Amino acid sequence: MVRNPALGKRDEPRAAAGRGDEGGDTVAAAIRRFRLDRCREELEDRRQRARSITEIAFRWGFNDSAHFSRVFKARFGMSPRAVRRRND
């Protein structure tokens, strides 16, 4: 990464993360979005039916199922359970 002298060292990761499709994101938000997208893919995949929603969430780095459900619903507008049921 090329150093921007106008930014402090702590600001550079945020500036780099903001260069994606959804500008202004932090690195943590970009990672969380990636992990949520992978969870959704697995919830929609019939081959993953044997895994519980919690197992899928934990597999992708979430360690609290209530928190996972809240952030999943905030991102996709429906609960993880609703996504899974829709694909039955």
CATH at residue 23? 1.10.10.60
Residue 33, domain extent: 12-86
48 inside domain? yes
Query: Does residue 6 lie within any of the structural domains?
Result: no
CA distance 83 to 66: 16
Give the predicted TM-score (pTM) of the model.
0.72
pLDDT at 58: 98
Tell whether 4 is covered by a domain. Answer: no
Residues in the chain: 88
Tell me what pLDDT residue 19 has.
52
Q: Which of 20, 46, 33, 42 is nearest to 72 (CA)?
A: 33
Torsion of the alpha carbons at 36, 39, 44 and 50, rounded to the nearest 10: -160
- Pick 58 or 2 by higher pLDDT: 58
pLDDT digits (tens, 9 = 90+) for 14-61: 555 555 455 678 999 999 999 999 999 999 999 999 999 999 999 999
